[in-house]
Chain A
Amino acid sequence: MPLDFATTLASSAAFPWLSASILFPIAAALCIPFFPDQGDGKQVRWFALGVALITFLLTVGGYLNGYDPSNPDLQLVEKVSWLPDLGLAWSVGADGLSMPLILLTSFITALAVLAAWPVSFKPKLFYFLLLAMDGGQIAVFAVQDMLLFFLAWELELIPVYLLLAIWGGKKRQYAATKFILYTAGSSLFILLAGLAMAFFGGHVSFDYSELMAKGFPLKFQLLAYAGLLIAFGVKLPIVPLHTWLPDAHGEATAPVHMLLAGILLKMGGYALLRFNCQILPDAHAVFAPLLVVLGVVNIIYAALTSFAQRNLKRKIAYSSISHMGFVLIGIGSFSALGSSGAMLQMISHGLIGASLFFLVGATYDRTHTLQLDEMGGVGQKMRKMFALWTVCSLASLALPGMSGFVSELMVFVGFATDDAYTLPFRVAVDGLAAIGVILTPVYLLSMLREIFYGQEKAELVGHTNLVDAEPREIYIIGCLLVPIIGIGLYPRLMTDSYKASMEVLVARNEQAMKALTAPAGSGLIRQTPFQAPSLS
């Protein structure tokens, strides 16, 4: 098989930004075993940080030089024929669905490397896995070929599994096993659906654009959609497929946490948009109300479980699930505003979730406990930590001026004005989702209250060394807060980067929805016959 990268790349004249940002961190990771290091990680971490930063700059470079946000089509395309008989190609590219998440990935990974600064147990392997994940995750968002997507999706599981199983907490083996069983089991559905789609019709192809053009019949679409929904529902996660997440999060270390919450969950949301919405629009038109209902369940169910949780990590883990509910509602809405809100919620939660999980790790380093009952009054010794926690919690409960508010508001407004659904259904969904607006501060502020407020617990203070936040920690949170507040003040900073693609996608879905004859739940949930927007 001829793998003639050089000629193809040379002919495309432009610098291969995406391939570089995928392959560079992986190649650099492969050099780590040969890197001279005393074994305490003090040298290799600088190398890893440098690689992560260069990768971040590569993605930014791609965004600035080869990406036009007003163009809804695929850009930065690089295609190298790999197995022409199979239609398999090294095919990467970015449109509005990919680009923001690629930037998010390289950004969060760079900060995760910085967050991993104190790691001294097998540091070489740790940084190797972080960098391998960096490339793997960018690949998940950038590849334009279903088989490559599956490879990247699977490839990224191994580092996460090892990061959990080697550096995790007491129950790390259980958590890691559960994670791998869940995700690997679900990826079988991806493989099956992917193969079925590729082999459908006479022409075998894994390329997204060719899959889109295949025009699958509705029954086929429904089957493939259901399979993919289960697969991506595990990742997002959708209740009741979520139980791996609290365990995995409960055992992971801070940097792994940041990657899990910041990027891994977004793979589920991205894949739903890319495959379920974009490639299977007719099935999406049928399934959309289900997504919306599942989203509402996610919001309320996970908020309640989070409220009752006594373990800090698990509490934040459940809060992540609750926030992903808005992504589902946004994806299920047939409005550009709602879907844009879903996308923004993914980015926003990526930033906020990463910051909260980082703080959990930093706090655990000091208190040596995650049980809320054993904490209390910590704020008197750790004032800066208290301030950082407060800001990030407020961001998470969707305080205006920060990104979470904008994304949730866009989903709310988008769904309220979505003429595809009947008024009672819209009222019920927005009303129930708004209960989340009450529940979120209940569990987050109770959490702050139990950690930081009140009198110091003598036992805790006596047995631990509660030093305040150090500059590195403040810097990491600061880096995350800049985009959180920036998007909160002026959301177009982010939304403009994917607006064009999202509008095309939603318009297509709306077409498919209107073409649907006698869908399930018409009259009760859906507007029948479809009415054009009357006002505004």
Chain B
Amino acid sequence: MPSPAELAWLIPVLPLLGAALVGLGLISFNRTVNRLRKPVALLLISCVGAAAVLSYAVLAEQLAGAGSTEVLFNWASAGAFTLEMGFRVDALGAVMLALVTTIAVLVMVYSDGYMAHDKGYVRFFTYLALFSSSMLGLVISPNLLQIYVFWELVGMCSYLLVGFWYDRDGAANAAQKAFVVNRVGDFGLLLGILGLFWATGSFGFEDIGLRLQDAIASGTVSNGIAVLLCLLVFMGPMAKSAQFPLHVWLPDAMEGPTPISALIHAATMVAAGVFLVARLQPVYAPFPEVQVVVAVIGTITLFLGASIALTQMDLKKGLAYSTVSQLGYMMLAMGCGAPVAGMFHLVTHAFFKAMLFLGSGSVIHAMEEVVGHEPVLAQDMRLMGGLRKHMPITSSTFFIGCVAISGIPPLAGFWSKDEILGQAFGSFPVLWAAGFITAGMTAFYMFRLYFLTFEGSFRGNDKAIQAQLMAAAGKSSEEHGDDHGHAHAEHPHESGWQMAMPLAVLAVPSVLVGLLGVPWNSRFGYLLDPHEAAEVAEHFSWGEFLPLAGASVTISVVGISVAVLAYALRKIDLGTAVAARFPTINAFLANKWYLDAINDKLFVQGSRKLARSVLEVDSKVVDGVVNLTGLVTLGSGEGLKYFETGRAQFYALIVFGGVIALVVLFGALG
């Protein structure tokens, strides 16, 4: 009987088989398969479910102390080189397997409700299964090369899913932007991988780490080049995990259906970058320069995300910038040489942010009943308010998520974020300060979202605001006149069980999972890195822990209080008190630090212009020379005219005949 670890290759293969089967069905028997909604959903959920069961078995085995398993086979070879593929199961991978499959199953169940009325229901489930498969493949990859393979595949799934509603221009643009920005990161990743392979002759994580040090020691590779290679590789995680300045695709990616935002753009795929950096710790750890860059990029990102989130009026965009910010925290942990802390935050964040996104989906779903299928209206918080009365499960789970992300003990976010801040305090006090202030901002903007959405009175039927929003988005109110046909309710309703159940299930780990990582007895730490965890537990002192933790909690409480005063009690009007007084800062934040504008001017327009001028050269100069010489040799175009009458085959006949004549001639002479 093979052990779960030996069967781990089945974990990505099962969803892939399901997706391939349904995909083939869709292309060959489109109508029939599209009608089999529930059977298809059931099949694919069971595929991912089976993968989940296997993942838990693998995790249990790791918890029981099994070592790592690695299986490789020769994938391609030429000359002395072989490229190997295979799979590897260890504690880090097992945690990710369990996390990804859990959230994937819950999101699939949720999607059954959320996508119930969508004509692309079956296609959506196929993409979901395909994504799960690619993500799980990434997690069990034994080397950088295979990571790159699945890295691209999850990017493709993200492209397909962001552009799922392909008749919307916004979705189409966002999908393309996501893919291209990620390719920019992959450009660096690919070159970095090639460089590391050149320097070490290996794609394996530990091998590269060891051999790179040997190569530096023996002088074949200089320290500077090694650092450069590490940073090139880091471009991949920067794009995938939405780190500044390659984060620009993630907020736009919210054009995809909300379950996708929860699964891909909050819990799993965007965490892949953090996961890769954790995997690369053996390579990165010996280079303090690399660690500093990672930490600084993480800090810029966490601050940038939180600052932009302050002014967002779109519920999903607010959550998206919050995700950017939290990914920054994880990257900061990696830069501080604390991968366990970063991975712990990855896990806790995956639970509560998936829950928050699914909650926002539930809200949007309910809002669509009132304002119609128009994202500009259904996602804007200016039209929400007072939803708590109508949607008790959604509002209470959303509240739990807000408390968790704000870092209030004993909920999950407190333990993981506090550990990161503690590590940062030890390594880079300046970066800690930024992270600390951002923690306050986080609490503020999350509760701002909560109060604007769920408290106060419902504003969804206010036609004046609707018209104003549509005008601001540059769409005419009539344009979505048909959509108003779907708007049939006066006020929103709580979503069905398929959507409420995953919310309730995710609330449990959002509250409790942090307790697995308490600093004096971190079970999570023991699993990933027993040595370090034992050391941490040994050196733990309440005298060090309490002041830092106390400070974190205090600034969170301050943030929450401001949000309460401003949006629940309406005691202070931030609009006039802050925004009006500092219009530059407000505009700066509302325009997302102007990064999109710069991006558009510099890269999008720039590359278009360059391409157009190259084409101009091609058609005028290169082809022009050809046509001109053609004319000259053929006697001012007379010959060309001759050929254009369609008798050029004579030319070929002449050549052919010439050769034959030659042959005969030689034959006769010989």
Contacts and interface: CB of A to CB of B under 8 A. Distances in A.
Interface of A: 1, 83, 85-86, 88, 147, 150-151, 154-155, 157-158, 161-162, 165, 173-174, 176-178, 180-182, 184, 187, 191, 239-240, 242-243, 301, 304-305, 307-309, 335-337, 339-341, 377, 379-380, 383-384, 386-388, 390, 394, 399-401, 405-406, 409-410, 412-414, 416-417, 426-427, 430-431, 434-435, 437-438, 441-443, 445-446, 449, 452-456, 468, 471, 474, 490-492, 495, 499, 502-503, 506, 533-536
Closest 10 CB pairs of A and B: A85-B670, A536-B201, A336-B79, A453-B172, A400-B149, A308-B615, A308-B611, A307-B611, A340-B78, A304-B614
A434 B190 contact: yes
Given A86-B667, A416-B197, A161 B648 contact: yes
Most buried by A among B173, B652, B669: B652
Most buried by B among A243, A435, A455: A243
Contact of B614 (A174, A308, A340, A426): A308
Contact of A441 (B169, B180, B191): B180
15 contacts: A85-B667, A86-B667, A158-B652, A177-B640, A181-B643, A243-B618, A305-B611, A337-B78, A401-B153, A413-B83, A453-B166, A471-B28, A474-B28, A491-B76, A535-B201
A446 B175 CA distance: 10
A471 B198 CA distance: 47
Contacts of B190: 412, 434, 437
A340 B666 CA distance: 40
B75 A490 contact: yes
Contacts of A180: 643, 648, 651-652
B167 A377 contact: yes
Given A1-B667, A499-B78, 5 more contacts: A174-B644, A178-B626, A308-B611, A452-B166, A455-B169
Contact of A453 (B163, B626, B656): B163
Given A85-B666, A437-B187, A441-B180, A184 B75 contact: no
B504 interface: no
Contacts of A495: 76-78
B652 A502 contact: no
Contacts of A178: 626, 630
A388 B23 CA distance: 12
A176 B649 CA distance: 10
A335 B166 CA distance: 44
B49 to A, nearest CB: 24
Interface in B174-193: 175-176, 179-180, 183-184, 186-187, 190-191
Interface string B596-617: 0000000000011011101100
A150 B156 contact: no
A149 to B, nearest CB: 11
Interface in B651-670: 651-653, 655-656, 659, 663, 666-667, 669-670
Contacts of A184: 651-652, 655
Contact of A491 (B75, B173, B198, B615): B75
A405 B186 CA distance: 13
A178 B631 CA distance: 11
Contact of B667 (A83, A304, A340, A414): A83
A86 B187 contact: no
A169 B173 CA distance: 33
Contacts of A85: 666-667, 669-670
A482 to B, nearest CB: 12
B659 A305 contact: no
Most buried by A among B607, B610, B669: B607
B648 A492 contact: no
A437 B75 contact: no
A468 B172 CA distance: 21
A301 B614 contact: yes
A474 B659 CA distance: 44
Nearest to B83: A413
A134 B463 CA distance: 68
Given A377-B167, A394-B156, A413 B608 contact: no
A461 B356 CA distance: 41
B81 A86 contact: no
A430 B191 contact: yes
B644 A173 contact: yes
B289 to A, nearest CB: 20
B634 to A, nearest CB: 8
B214 to A, nearest CB: 10
B163 A441 contact: no
B482 interface: no
Given A151-B659, A181-B643, A492-B75, A417 B81 contact: yes
B615 A305 contact: yes
A154 B187 contact: no
Interface string B77-112: 111110100000000000000000000000000000
Contacts of A400: 148-150, 152-153
B556 interface: no
A150 B659 contact: yes
A442 B607 contact: yes
A502 B181 CA distance: 37
B113 interface: no
A431 B228 CA distance: 13
Interface in B628-648: 630, 640, 643-644, 646, 648
Given A401-B149, A453-B169, A474 B198 contact: no
A86 B666 contact: yes
B670 A406 contact: no
Most buried by B among A173, A177, A412: A177
Nearest to A400: B149
B637 to A, nearest CB: 12
B663 A379 contact: no
Contact of B180 (A155, A413, A426, A438): A438
A413 to B, nearest CB: 6
Nearest to A309: B615
A455 B186 CA distance: 31
B191 A503 contact: no
A438 B187 contact: yes
A214 B175 CA distance: 58
A243 B656 CA distance: 25
Contacts of B77: 492, 495, 499
Contact of B27 (A384, A434, A506): A384
A336 B656 contact: no
A171 B195 CA distance: 48
Nearest to A157: B652
B612 A308 contact: yes
A309 to B, nearest CB: 7
Contacts of A86: 663, 666-667, 670
